[in-house]
Structure 1
Amino acid sequence: MPENLSPEQQTHYENHGYVCNVPVFCADEVAHLRDKIETLEAQHHAGANGQSLNQYFRVNGHVVIPLLAELARTPAILDAVETILGENLLVWSVELFIKEANTEKTVSWHQDITYWGMGETNDEVTAWVALSDVTEQAGCMRFIPGSHKNGIVSHEDTQDENNLLSRGQQIAGIDENNAVAGPLKPGEMSLHHGRCFHASGPNRSDDRRIGLAIRYVTPEVRDGLPGRDYAMLVRGADAARGWVNIAGPRGLFTPADLSLYDKILTDQQATLTAGAQHDVSLYAGKEASA
């Protein structure tokens, strides 16, 4: 496995806002990880502490699920991200995006950092790791090359039940002719800039489409920003101390970690739901989502 992005890959990321087909895991490792995830689904399908398992898969899972925290520390991923962001790295969020076989779930055109309270920073990168065969038929991501060079654009909330995004947010007027597909083989990842326009279609394959999204940031992202937010230091040091540093879970769904999860969700809620016309259930907390 290459330890860093090649100069060509770096240039592609800088010019287009994304890079694909970066190898991370071998076939045996992917099979082992998928088995761990599906065992977790089978054994903890009801979730924990009044929250569904999907809640933890989709929001801050690294706080309460050791596997997700461990994956965010994978050296091959960190080496590639370090090439872009530098030697000091924190994880803001870890998520699993799962589209069941032959289903219509989609992700509409959007920019990641629109509602994250990070401004228009260049210092956030999403690593998206394929834990199944993510073909075009399976609904791989598509990108608009160069769209990261502009600022954050307007998004509209659709609340579409088939949209995997928290509020079904989308950018209107995208010319699909400009879109470039980024299929990934099991164990490969893509990296994309927080302002890069991207989307994914329905899974029309006969297998689940399983993707792991890890949001990496630098210590400086929170310089001058109001409020409080949390991140897990995974490489280097956080001398800026703008983030509340967390260490990762003690075990699976431990009471102390579940309590921290609720505190983080409460502190993030106002920022992540700002301007929403409807309840954003993934960030609404236990009472609203029960």
Structure 2
Amino acid sequence: MNEPRSAHQLSDEQKACYQENGYLIGLPPVFTPEEMRRINAELPHLLALLKPGETTKDIREWHEASQYLYEICLNPRILDLVEGVLGPDFYCWASNFFIKEPRSTSTVGWHQDAYYWPMAPHNSVTVWVAFDDVDEGNGGMKIIPGSHRGGIVKHQRGTDTDSVLTLQLEDGSDFSSEAAVQFRMKAGECSLHDDRAIHGSQANPSDRRRAGLTIRYSGTNVKNDLAVNPNFKTYLCRGTDTFHHNPVGVPPTTRFGRPNFKAVSKEEAGLG
């Protein structure tokens, strides 16, 4: 007898849309309003662990030491969505915050995630979980449909001093920002995008915060180059890992914590 399909299991139509466009939005919420209130109420405990001179973008891979983030990364509703893209065998390996406070001039230049990652083959998806309502007014992400099918585009060091990325697509790259789709999400919703999809975001001139947590997942067939990123750890989410390409992390036992290593920057990773 067939089991009833979860609301977060992708339909064949949604899977086809993802393969064609490189992203999915308009998905069922992965957290209820009450769950998001609790998550946001606990967020200051995590932010309190930042050291002087650090910003929220330094919260990278803290799921390795923080149950608070680890539980979000392994939320079954999120994993149902990811399984629809990657198949039954996949792991989580990265998370980081992108928080634009009200009146923030911070931008994210057009880029492809895969350009920064020493990983192969391309079989990864990013989940962007909205902690706040997100739209064009407070710097919501934009993505260029179908851009993931054009391969990896050459990047250059960015000249935009407000961009959180030091590398962005080389001027004259064959893509049109006019085709970009604006993401609009309510708190508790999420989007999915391919590691080769071209995306970016503008500043936040509004009086509203724009906070999102990105979580990276890859099929177990994907191998990381430890010579470039020696701190890489995987956390199996679904299925089995018959490849054993990568180190396996130990789930955290502390509610709020940070790893005892500094995450490898893009420059340190040889990608800047």
| Alignment TM-score, normalising by the size of structure 2 | 0.87
Superposed CA deviations along residues 195-252 of structure 1, whole A, max 9, x for unmatched, are: 00011111122111010100001111118x5745322222222221101010232315
Q: Return the offset for 1:2.
A: 1.1
1:247 and 2:246 aligned = no
Q: Which residue type is aligned with residue 43 of structure 2?
A: I
Given the alignment, which residue of 229, 232, 236 partners 1:233? Answer: 236
Pair 184,65 (structure 1): closer, same or farther in 2 beyond 3 Å: same
Q: Return the offset for 1:141.
A: 1.0
Superposed CA deviations along residues 50-69 of structure 1, whole A, max 9, x for unmatched, are: x8463651x21212222111
Q: Which residue type is aligned with residue 236 of structure 2?
A: L
CA contact (8 A) 2:111 2:167 kept: no
1:13 and 2:18 aligned = yes
Q: Corresponding residue for 1:44?
A: 49
1:134 and 2:139 aligned = no
Q: What are the equivalent positions in structure 2 for 1:197-212 lying under 5 Å apart?
A: 197-212=198-213
Q: Which residue type is aligned with residue 247 of structure 2?
A: V
Q: Corresponding residue for 1:3?
A: 8
Identical-residue share of aligned pairs (%) = 34
Pair 210,269 (structure 1): closer, same or farther in 2 beyond 3 Å: closer
Pair 194,213 (structure 1): closer, same or farther in 2 beyond 3 Å: same
Q: Which residue type is aligned with residue 41 of structure 2?
A: D
**Separation (CA, whole Å) in 1 of partners of 2:221 and 2:168:** 27
1:192 and 2:193 aligned = yes
Superposed CA deviations along residues 6-34 of structure 1, whole A, max 9, x for unmatched, are: 22221211110001122211111111111
Q: Return the offset for 1:145.
A: 0.7
Aligned length: 261
RMSD: 2.4
**Structure number having the greater helix percentage:** 1
Q: Corresponding residue for 2:145?
A: 145
Structure 2 unaligned residues grouped into runs of 5+: 1-5
Pair 219,235 (structure 1): closer, same or farther in 2 beyond 3 Å: same
| Alignment TM-score, normalising by the size of structure 1 | 0.82
Q: Which residue type is aligned with residue 20 of structure 2?
A: N
Q: Return the offset for 1:169.
A: 2.9
Q: Return the offset for 1:125.
A: 0.2
**Separation (CA, whole Å) in 1 of partners of 2:226 and 2:96:** 25
Q: Secondary structure at the match of 1:164?
A: coil
Structure 1 unaligned residues grouped into runs of 5+: 277-290
Q: Return the offset for 1:159.
A: 6.2
**Separation (CA, whole Å) in 2 of partners of 1:13 and 1:53:** 33
Superposed CA deviations along residues 80-123 of structure 1, whole A, max 9, x for unmatched, are: 1001101112111011110001211111100001021014x331
**Separation (CA, whole Å) in 1 of partners of 2:20 and 2:92:** 24
**Separation (CA, whole Å) in 2 of partners of 1:56 and 1:233:** 24
CA contact (8 A) 2:139 2:204 kept: yes
